């Protein structure tokens, strides 16, 4: 029997509690900080301790934090390893142990046999990275028996952490698992991050960051008076490896959603790539949507609500493209609730609300789709009667702008009807609309009453609103 995701999560906490850490529950995905769209790393709830603004009630802690990363939305279903919602397991030291402690604790959990409460990874398949000048970390890995051939040095962009603003910063060391030559090129994580799967990031907060820009262009000031540890391990990624499946979407908490989607659509998973991506998107997004609603997000036209709306609409769209003719949402959220409630009881206790919110959004979107589909069919007839082969950019734009019909759907349906779409023309019209909206915004004081602006905001999507999310989510925990 493989190791279940709930068990992987539990083993992590137990390992660190045995080593004296205080177990801290996950924070909500939504924190009061308006700059942070969603909690995207385990360290977020501990930021005031790391910044020295508050004194922690413990010197070491462990948690499994609910995370949402909107930056990864386009990767979902396409890479083997990116979820929008995932669980980040972490251990934290506030001026207690430092590099040696963090490295040894991570290594022992990863390599301890499954029968003894560990994850039982073959040490020969693990690779590690260290920051360019971090000889200290390298020495610790060597002492644990990791040969120098499997230790790589990486620069600022990959292996140096900060919050993007003056404050604590420091080198990282990451742990990767080699899935084998059938998954890509030799040469370690530096050569191929698909074959070498990143599972754990250890951050050594040891310096103070000065002014500068972004992830890799800033001044490093002197050492911090108190050094801290912040780590993040992807629970879904460990499950992916321990369960011997091909990707995170086929692990025990996500694969049953794919099975449900197979039932509802009549299509099978594992037959063709385009369909498989849709199945994986459904599984990933159904879970993220349910977790976000559980934490109080409602679908809307901006910020967090817009992200949720986009996730829910992508589920509906993907299911329809797979052949679903009837509503699907109630069944998806039910199965997510059954799967997630053992670790997150709010998914069970708050189920009715989660169901109402998600099904309400589906109903509204299906209406949009049906009006749009009528217009789409008329357009196709018109193109055909005039002997054309292509839907004009203007028609695609009208479908989008007036009927809220997403361009991907127009493209898909056009392909099914044997027609092309003037996508470049469509994009041009979108750009013009954005430009008009910008000019309007400048000439109006009360931009929020202007529907063109509002439309632009929706079209542009949530990436504009990530703020802190964007600064902290890549190559950091």
**Which positions touch Mg ion (CB under 5 A)?**
198, 201, 475
Residue ranges binding ligand ATP (CB under 6 A): 69, 72, 81-83, 86, 88, 198-201, 232-234, 236-237, 473-477
CB of 199 to ligand ATP, least distance (A): 5
Q: Which is nearer to ligand ATP, 264 or 339 (CB)?
A: 339
Q: Which is nearer to ligand ATP, 167 or 425 (CB)?
A: 167
CB of 177 to ligand ATP, least distance (A): 10
Q: Which is nearer to ligand ATP, 168 or 232 (CB)?
A: 232
Find the residue with minimal CB distance to Mg ion: 201
Q: Which is nearer to Mg ion, 39 or 319 (CB)?
A: 39
Q: Which is nearer to ligand ATP, 156 or 399 (CB)?
A: 156
CB of 474 to Mg ion, least distance (A): 5
Q: Which is nearer to Mg ion, 63 or 379 (CB)?
A: 63
The maximal CA–CA distance of the chain, rounded, in angstroms, is 76
Burial class (CB in 10 A: 0-12, 13-18, 19+), 358: buried
CB of 441 to ligand ATP, least distance (A): 33
Contacts of 165 (CB under 8 A, 6+ apart): 209, 471
CB of 88 to ligand ATP, least distance (A): 5
Q: Cα separation of 160 and 128, whole Å?
A: 14
Q: Which is nearer to Mg ion, 413 or 475 (CB)?
A: 475
CB of 201 to Mg ion, least distance (A): 4
Q: Cα separation of 80 and 387, whole Å?
A: 43
Per-residue burial over 100-124, b if 16 or more Cβ lie within 10 Å, else e, is ebbbebbbebbbbeeeeebbebeee
Residue 69 binds which entry of ligand ATP, Mg ion, none, CB below 5-8 Å type-dependent: ligand ATP
Q: Which of 125, 49, 128, 41 is nearest to 90 (CA)?
A: 41
Residue 88 binds which entry of Mg ion, ligand ATP, none, CB below 5-8 Å type-dependent: ligand ATP
Q: Cα separation of 285 and 74, whole Å?
A: 12
CB of 290 to ligand ATP, least distance (A): 16
Residue whose structure tokens are 């083993």: 11
Q: Which is nearer to ligand ATP, 188 or 232 (CB)?
A: 232
CB of 238 to ligand ATP, least distance (A): 8
Contacts of 374 (CB under 8 A, 6+ apart): none
Residue 86 binds which entry of ligand ATP, Mg ion, none, CB below 5-8 Å type-dependent: ligand ATP
Residue 94 binds which entry of Mg ion, ligand ATP, none, CB below 5-8 Å type-dependent: none
Find the residue with minimal CB distance to ligand ATP: 234
Residue 200 binds which entry of Mg ion, ligand ATP, none, CB below 5-8 Å type-dependent: ligand ATP
Using an 8 Å Cβ cutoff, are 440 and 452 in contact? yes
């Amino acid at each position: 029997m493989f190791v279940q995701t709930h068990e992987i999560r539990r083993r992590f906490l137990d390992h660190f509690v045995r080593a004296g850490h205080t177990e801290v529950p996950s924070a909500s995905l939504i924190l009061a900080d308006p700059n942070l769209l969603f909690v995207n790393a385990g360290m977020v709830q501990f930021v005031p301790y790391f910044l020295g603004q508050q004194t922690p009630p413990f010197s070491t802690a462990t948690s499994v934090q609910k995370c949402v990363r909107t930056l990864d939305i386009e990767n979902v279903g396409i890479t083997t390893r990116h979820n929008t919602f995932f669980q980040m397991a972490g251990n934290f030291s506030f001026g207690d142990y430092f590099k040696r402690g963090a490295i040894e604790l991570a290594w022992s959990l990863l390599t301890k046999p499954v029968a003894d409460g560990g994850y039982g990874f073959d040490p020969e398949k693990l690779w590690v990275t260290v920051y360019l000048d971090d000889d200290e970390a390298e020495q610790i890995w060597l002492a644990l028996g990791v040969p120098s051939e499997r230790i790589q040095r990486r620069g600022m962009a990959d292996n140096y952490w900060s919050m993007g603003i003056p404050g604590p910063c420091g080198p990282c060391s990451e742990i990767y698992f080699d899935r084998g030559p059938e998954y890509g090129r030799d040469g370690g994580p530096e050569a191929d991050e698909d074959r070498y799967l990143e599972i754990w990031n250890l951050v050594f907060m040891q310096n103070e960051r000065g002014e500068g820009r972004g992830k890799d262009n800033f001044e490093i000031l002197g050492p911090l008076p108190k050094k801290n540890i912040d780590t993040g391990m992807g629970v879904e990624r460990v499950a992916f490896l321990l369960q011997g499946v091909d990707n995170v979407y086929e692990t025990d908490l996500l694969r049953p959603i794919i099975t449900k989607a197979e039932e509802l659509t009549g299509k099978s998973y594992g037959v063709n790539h385009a369909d498989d991506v849709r199945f994986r998107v459904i599984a990933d997004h159904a879970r993220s949507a349910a977790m976000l609603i559980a934490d109080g997000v409602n679908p809307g036209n901006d910020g967090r609500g817009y992200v949720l709306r986009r996730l829910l609409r992508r589920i509906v769209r993907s299911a329809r493209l797979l052949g679903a003719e009837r509503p699907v949402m109630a069944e998806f959220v039910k199965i997510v609730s059954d799967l997630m409630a053992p670790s997150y009881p709010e998914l069970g206790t708050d189920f009715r609300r989660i169901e109402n919110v998600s099904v309400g959004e589906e109903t509204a979107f299906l209406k949009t789709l049906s009006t749009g589909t009528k217009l789409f069919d008329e357009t196709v007839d018109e193109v055909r009667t005039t002997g054309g082969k292509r839907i004009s950019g203007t028609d695609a734009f009208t479908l989008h702008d007036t009927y809220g019909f997403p361009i991907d759907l127009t493209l898909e349906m056009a392909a099914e009807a044997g027609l092309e779409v003037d996508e470049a023309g469509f994009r041009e019209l979108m750009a013009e609309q954005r430009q008009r909206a910008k000019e309007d915004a400048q000439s109006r004081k009360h931009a929020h009453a202007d529907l063109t602006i509002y439309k632009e905001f929706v079209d542009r999507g949530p990436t504009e609103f990530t703020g802190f999310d964007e600064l902290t989510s890549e190559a950091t925990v």
